[in-house]
Amino acid sequence: MNTVKLTNQRCGAHKDPMRDLKAFPTRSAVLLPGLLAGLLALSGCITVNAPSEPIVIELNINITQEVIYRLAEDAGNAIDENADIF
């Protein structure tokens, strides 16, 4: 409980560290839950999505027929337009 003072305290020449700390609980009441929620959300993402094995990409095998068919028309034009190097 705060003790009642009869006269206003004068401002000191320097900041009183103990008085600054008084403001902390109110600010932390806003900041801390947010921070905790963020940390929880982050840690949740990492644990849920952590891959068990490294992902290996085999480029040549990964090229699908679908992609080749999509590119075929443009590639044909590219060959026609650069007939000197094909």
Partner 1 sequence: MNNNPIRRFALHAAMAAMMVGTLAVPASAQRDPAYAAARANGQIGEKMDGYLGIVGNATPELQAMVNDLNNRRRAVYTERAQAENATLESYALTAGCLAISRTEVGEMYQAPDGSWQRRTSAPPLRDARCP
Of 34, 14, 12, 32, the C-alpha closest to 24 is 32
**20-79 positions binding partner 1, by CB under 8 A:** 59-60, 63-65, 67-72, 74-76, 78-79
- Please identify, using beta-carbon distances, which residue of 53 and 84 lies nearer to partner 1: 84
* Site size toward partner 1, by CB under 8 A: 22
- Decide if 86 contacts 79 (C-beta within 8 A): yes
Alpha helix segments (H runs only) across the chain: 17-49, 59-62, 65-81
Binding site for partner 1 (CB under 8 A): 59-60, 63-65, 67-72, 74-76, 78-80, 82-86
